Amino acid sequence: MENRTDRFDILNHSPIGMCVIDDAYNVVFWNRCISDWTNIQKENILGKKIQTIYPHFKQSKYKNSFNKIFGVGKPTNFPIQLHGYIFKEKSPNGKPRVQHTTVTAIPAENAGHYYALFAIEDVTEMTHRIKEYKRIRDLALCENKQRKKAEAKLHKSMIELEQTNQKLIEKNIELDQFNYIVSHDLQAPLRTISSFSKFLQKNSGNILSKKSLKYLGFIISASKRMHLLIENLLSLSKSTRTTLNTSEFAVDNCVDDALQSLQSNIDETKAKIDRQNLLKIKGDKILITQLYQNLIGNALKFVDHKEPQINLTVDYEGSTAVFGVLDNGIGISQEFKNSIFEPFKKADSDIKYEGSGLGLAICKKIIERHKGHIWVESNPGEGTHFKFTLGNIN
């Protein structure tokens, strides 16, 4: 037996498990690697039939393949399904080894006879890596598929949102146009009512009773309020409908124009106005003038029989300029600090003061169109400080 195995001694140094059997299925060679895997030493298996250790070798599917080797020396490739089953062994962690086995015909000493050389490569780790790679690949493919679905859904939502926004823009334009047209067309009959009422009041002589003259005064007063409301509606419509006429100008010039428009109110209330030097900005000069006119007009109105003290301020929060109009008026309760910027909304303390309820709504629209923000700091009886930023001033 030793003479037969000497020719295979070099295979003892191979990292691949190797064994040789003859045509009688006797084990002729058993290398160190396969001994380590199986814990079967070569002296305990050499000369013995392989079926005594591995009974499955008696199965016809193995015999048919081996007969081709022993009979004609034809190389045999085992189907992949048989890999891992020819030598059923376990790794040190107790898990079955995955083996790739090839069988090669080697000429025996007797002419026309062949040995079968088994080369067993342990591919357990590689197989697990491939499985893990496939798992990760399948997971990535699944995630990619889900991502594409999500992207398609998002794209569809963005298109729908864009269409909705476009419809909303069109509806807002229609609403602004309707508001402008109706407000404009209401002016003519209102002027007629106001003019003839005043004419009738002036030239009534003794025809109308005192009660009738009183009712006529109500009509004239209501006409004035209606006129103010329509003018403010037109201003609100203009502040949202027209294109910004942007230029660079000093805010002080806007304040000058606003104060000039309000001069009679200032003289009548004996208001004191202090002002800081304001900035040069880029924006719509007419709208910024209207903004200051509305805010200063509010400060002149809500004073409760005191002489108004108004400060026009500008401060900095970091690099942001914060403009303001500070007064010593009646103040605003906390609960109304947000609603006062909505159209036709007034604080409870404002009810007794004349106005359309649109002035602050117009201010908010003007500031928003300049990419800014407006808010109020106030307490009842402690005055009011309207503050605002103009986001695109630079």
Q: Report which of 85, 11, 122 is spatially closest to residue 28, judged by C-alpha positions.
A: 11
pLDDT given at position 1: 47
The string of DSSP codes covering 221-247 is HHHHHHHHHHHHHHHHHHHHHSPP-EE
Helix then strand then coil, % of the chain, to nearest 5: 55, 20, 30
- Got the DSSP string for 250-262? EHHHHHHHHHHHT
Phi, psi torsion values for 388, nearest 5 degrees: -155, 155
**Total-model pTM:** 0.48
pLDDT in tens, 332-377: 877 777 778 776 555 544 445 454 567 788 888 889 888 899 998 8
- Is residue 379 classed as helix, strand or coil in its secondary structure? coil
Cα 375 to Cα 150, 220, 368, 372, distances in angstroms: 39, 36, 12, 10
Spatial distance between the Cα atoms of 351 and 349, rounded to a whole number of angstroms: 6
For 258-282, the pLDDT digits (tens) are: 898 888 888 888 989 998 888 888 8
| pLDDT tens-digit profile, the chain (394 residues) | 445 556 787 888 888 888 898 888 999 999 998 888 888 898 998 999 988 888 888 888 777 777 778 877 766 665 544 444 566 666 666 666 667 778 888 888 777 788 888 888 877 677 677 778 888 898 889 889 999 999 999 999 999 898 988 888 787 777 777 766 766 666 667 777 777 777 777 776 677 777 777 777 777 777 766 666 666 666 666 655 556 778 889 999 999 998 988 888 888 889 899 988 888 888 888 889 989 998 998 888 887 767 889 999 998 888 888 999 999 888 887 777 777 877 655 554 444 545 456 778 888 888 988 889 999 888 888 889 999 998 755 4
CA 79 → CA 22, 65, 101, 116, 372, distances in Å? 22, 10, 10, 17, 76
CB neighbour list of residue 330: distance below 8 Å, 6 or more residues apart: 302, 303, 304, 349, 380, 381, 384
E-strand stretches of the chain: 17-21, 27-30, 99-107, 114-122, 246-250, 272-275, 280-284, 309-317, 320-327, 373-378, 384-389
User: What type of residue sits at position 156?
Assistant: K
Residue 75 confidence (pLDDT): 66
3-class DSSP state of 210: helix
Cα of 202 vs its chain's centroid, Å: 67
Q: Give the span between the Cα atoms of 42 and 26, in whole angstroms.
A: 12
CB-CB contact of 197 with 213 (8 Å): no
Contact, 50 vs 88, CB < 8 A?
no
Amino acid identity of 41? Q
